[in-house]
A and B are shown apart, each in its own frame.
Chain A
Amino acid sequence: MTRLKRAIALRETGPALAAFYLAILLVAVIAPQVLTQTDPMAIAPRAAFAPPSLHHLFGTDESGRDILTRLIYGARQSLLLGVSAIALALLIATTLALIGGLGGRMAERGIRWLIDVMFAFPVLVLALLCSATLGSGIVPLVIAVGIGSAAGYTRLVFGQVLAVRDAPYVEAARALGHSPFKIIRRHILPNAVRPLVVLATMGVGQMVVWSASLSFLGLGAPPPAAEWGTMLSMGRDYIAEAWWMTLFPGLAIVLTMLATTVVGRAIQLRMDAGAS
């Protein structure tokens, strides 16, 4: 019994820690000034390249700006990027999946083929093409990452829509003579969309990583901006002298990704338990 209790406690620690980290991020997004008193853009040439110390917990960058402060202020933009990109990707995915699943045989075949084709393009390559077309900046970055990663989500949601479409309860609703519109709204959408909650939660972290990759290549917010990917890309130039400029922004990204994955999985477990 105690062993079981300990196992349960252990299983709860991960999600709790992850939720705690996400809560801190949320505070940083809404009110960064609560967490730090320093200005993220204040230049102090004398304090440039200061290694981590009590005064500058995560060190300073080439202009003497405090890394920790910049990370806190950067959370807003980085998370906003992640959330908007996953929203766009899931919007595309759901639209395509509904068209393919409910639009008849030709539509189904067309969407299958489209997914096949989209999969031939790696996320980053597609995103790179998009940013070439749209230019660099925050909005093009969101669109590029959203479109680039839509293929994987389309396949998942499409599979879900097909499974729900052929489920007995939909057949029953059809036999009862409900209108197609009502069936979509009452049965197909809720059941196909529920897994989306999990996908969306886990996706935010993944999207933060993708947009950081593109920012890193110079396609995101231009340099002085306090955005995690941009900070990483600046840190790379000074990697031989100032490792802290790279380590901490990367850590923030990795932790975000891990936290969303862990929380997403916890939600999934809970939903599965509720369903059975």
Chain B
Amino acid sequence: MTALSRRTWPFGLIARKIARRLANAVLVLLAAASLAFAALHLTPGDPVTAILGGGTQTPSPETIAAARHEYGLDRPISVQFGLYIARLASGNLGQSFSQHMPVADVLRAQGPATLALMASALLTAWLLAVLSIVFAVGRRTTAFARTTETFFAGLPQFWLAILLLWALGFELQIFPPAGNRGLRSLVLPTLSLAIPLGGFLARVMRDSFDLALHEPFILTARARGTPEWLIRLRHALRHALLPGISLSAWAVGALVGNGVVIEMIFSRRGIGRELFLAVMTHDMPLVSGIILFIALVYILAGIATDALYVVVDPRLKATRS
């Protein structure tokens, strides 16, 4: 079976796998779009008020009717939904009500800041987790590391953010408390997201790591006289990577979600903050644009995870189909 699948693997199976992946991605995006549509149509409050500049304005009935017609809000809901999906399928995300500019432009302006924050948080979390796993040797240290990891994993990001803001932003004034300027402004938001995630990653990876330490090949390496830290880093860690990687795909999504609060606290530009504001102003095209963006990031993270699996564990190349 293995020999056979190894021979046929490059063409038939890969094509089928890619096709299934793509179909799934489209379904997820479709569901994301429908969800955004449903959520905002169930929302009390008239989108026309948002189009015409919020609740403070008092437009005449004629203006309201005109705007309603212009944005197609006077058609039956099924027609609106069809038009909406067709429009999205053609790559047009529409016009933001509240910002009076194309949604794609908003995403282009806000996306990089969020992606940078996510990337730096994910990297920092991995760094913390790997350091904690590899260098906590010995029974006492390990027990201490375990407890610390559990504690960190349980810290709510927003609370950590406020404490960091207070301690390092206001009291010691080491890092800027708000804004998007430069790498220094990235430090506090990154730490607020990375510390809980790092604890979580470490907790998940540690079990596989401890199992791997009892494998025969570790004994062999010890017998060869390899230093303990090198054994842990080179031989055992590889086995702990898989659960960490599969968790990371999920973590990317969680980072976007928690990013909403973090971006609010540090007054950072970004997708999360924009999503919160869009939800508050019932800016439907912007909300669905951001939801689609998040779903897309999640899909890409899933694909990257699958690719990484094979890199880390070559055995999977033969068995995975």
Contacts and interface: CB of A to CB of B under 8 A. Distances in A.
A121 B156 contact: no
A9 to B, nearest CB: 14
Contacts of B27: 113, 116-117
Interface string B136-156: 000000000000001100111
A98 interface: no
Interface stretch (B64-72, B233-241, B275-283, B308-316): B275-283
A217 B291 CA distance: 19
A123 B261 CA distance: 12
Given A213-B158, A239-B170, A119 B253 contact: yes
A64 interface: no
Interface centre among A125, A128, A130, A246 (most CB of B within 10 A): A125
Given A236-B265, A254-B156, A119 B250 contact: yes
Interface in A218-276: 232, 235-236, 239-240, 243, 246-247, 250, 253-254, 257-258, 261
A52 interface: no
Contact of A235 (B28, B43, B162, B264): B162
Given A119-B250, A129-B36, A240 B166 contact: yes
Interface in A128-162: 128-133, 135
Interface string B257-299: 1101100110000000001100110100001000100110011
Given A120-B299, A122-B256, A239-B162, A250 B154 contact: no
A55 B194 CA distance: 38
B166 A123 contact: no
B294 A125 contact: yes
B162 A250 contact: yes
Nearest to A262: B150
Nearest to A242: B166
A32 interface: no
Contacts of B44: 135
B253 A133 contact: no
A212 interface: yes
B163 interface: yes
Given A129-B35, A250-B156, A122 B162 contact: no
Contacts of B39: 129-130, 132-133
A124 interface: yes
Contacts of A209: 154, 156
Contacts, number: 120
Interface residues of A, number: 37
Contact of B43 (A120, A122, A133): A133
Nearest to B251: A122
B123 interface: no
A121 B35 contact: yes
Contacts of A239: 162, 165-166, 170
A216 B261 contact: yes
Contacts of B35: 121, 129
B166 A246 contact: yes
A270 B315 CA distance: 37
A216 B158 contact: yes
B163 A122 contact: no
B42 interface: yes
A216 B264 CA distance: 10
Contact of B32 (A121, A128, A246): A121
Interface string A96-136: 00000000000000000100110111111100111111010
B158 A232 contact: yes
A125 B32 CA distance: 11
Contact of A122 (B154, B156, B253, B264): B253
B162 A246 contact: yes
A246 B151 contact: no
B279 A129 contact: yes
B304 to A, nearest CB: 15
Contacts of A250: 156, 159, 162-163
B295 A121 contact: yes
A120 B295 contact: yes
Contacts of B250: 119
B295 A116 contact: no
A239 B298 CA distance: 34
Contact of A120 (B28, B159, B162, B282): B28
A143 B151 CA distance: 28
Given A120-B28, A232-B158, A239-B162, 8 more contacts: A121-B294, A122-B254, A125-B260, A133-B43, A217-B264, A236-B265, A246-B166, A261-B154
Interface of A: 113, 116-117, 119-125, 128-133, 135, 205, 209, 212-213, 216-217, 232, 235-236, 239-240, 243, 246-247, 250, 253-254, 257-258, 261
11 contacts: A119-B253, A122-B255, A122-B256, A122-B257, A132-B280, A132-B282, A133-B43, A217-B260, A246-B159, A246-B163, A253-B159
